């Protein structure tokens, strides 16, 4: 897949609030600026990789890039579901991700249960793939171990 691994960092902003309430799968949304900075030929779809909030631990993640055909969004979104249970929300914090692999294109579904079940399959696939050496090695990348000062300066 072209552009992978792809490293990306940005503030967590509010979306439509659908992830946790309707789907039971919260997704941390990136601001428009981060979405617009993706290479223009970066394929929309469902990906997996590694994620860290602030200077926190690095966890497995699944990522959706696109227009959420089930919801017919008019704005492209980049949303990360971190495969970890957090005690609290982390709106406003810096989310760092590396996208390491592609799963499938975005699809429409005939019911919300079908969408949820597809996302759960994606999570299982991501967990398996990320244990393979070529993906596991990116968990240790220096990108995740940058001093706070550099993050604040935006370098």
Q: Which residues bind ligand ADP (CB under 6 A)?
A: 12, 14-21, 26-29, 81-82, 84, 86, 89-91
**Rounded distance between C-alpha atoms, residue 96 and residue 144, angstroms:** 7
Report the residue number, 18 or 139, with the smaller CB distance to Mg ion. Answer: 18
Hey, what are 78's tokens?
Answer: 């980049």
Taking the CA atoms of residue 145, residue 60, residue 77 and residue 86 in that order, the dihedral angle to the nearest 10 degrees is -90
Neighbours of 122 (CB within 10 A): 20
Strand order in the sheet with 94-104: 6-11, 94-104, 45-53, 59-66, 77-82, 28-29
Rg (CA), the chain: 15
* Residue 89 interacts with, from ligand ADP, Mg ion, ligand RBF, none (CB under 5-8 Å by kind): ligand ADP
Q: Which of 4, 19, 104 is nearest to 49 (CA)?
A: 4
Residues between 72 and 91 that touch ligand RBF (CB under 6 A): 79, 81
Q: Could you tell me which stretch among 5-13, 85-93, 112-120, 133-141 binds ligand RBF (CB under 6 A)?
A: 112-120
Whether residue 124 lies in the annotated active site: no
Q: Please, what is the minimum distance in Å from the beta carbon of residue 11 to ligand ADP?
A: 10
Quick one: which of 8, 38, 46, 97 contacts ligand RBF (CB under 6 A)? 46
Are 12 and 95 within 8 A, CB to CB? yes
* Residue 69 interacts with, from ligand RBF, Mg ion, ligand ADP, none (CB under 5-8 Å by kind): ligand RBF
Q: Please, what is the minimum distance in Å from the beta carbon of residue 53 to ligand RBF?
A: 16
Q: Could you tell me which stretch among 20-28, 30-38, 83-91, 131-139 binds ligand RBF (CB under 6 A)?
A: 20-28
């Amino acid at each position: 897949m072209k552009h992978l691994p792809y490293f990306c960092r940005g503030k967590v902003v509010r979306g439509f609030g659908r992830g946790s309430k309707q789907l039971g799968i919260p997704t941390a949304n990136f601001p428009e600026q981060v979405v617009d900075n993706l290479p223009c030929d970066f394929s929309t779809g469902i990906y997996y990789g590694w994620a860290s909030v602030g200077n926190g631990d690095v966890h497995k993640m699944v990522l959706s890039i696109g227009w959420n055909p089930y919801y017919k969004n008019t704005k492209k979104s980049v949303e990360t579901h971190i495969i970890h249970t957090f005690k609290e929300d982390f709106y406003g914090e810096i989310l760092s991700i590396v996208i390491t692999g592609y799963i499938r294109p975005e699809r429409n579904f005939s019911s919300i249960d079908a969408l949820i079940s597809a996302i759960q399959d994606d999570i299982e696939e991501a967990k398996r793939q990320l244990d393979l050496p070529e993906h596991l090695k990116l968990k240790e990348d220096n990108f995740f171990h940058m001093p706070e000062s550099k993050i604040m300066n935006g370098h």
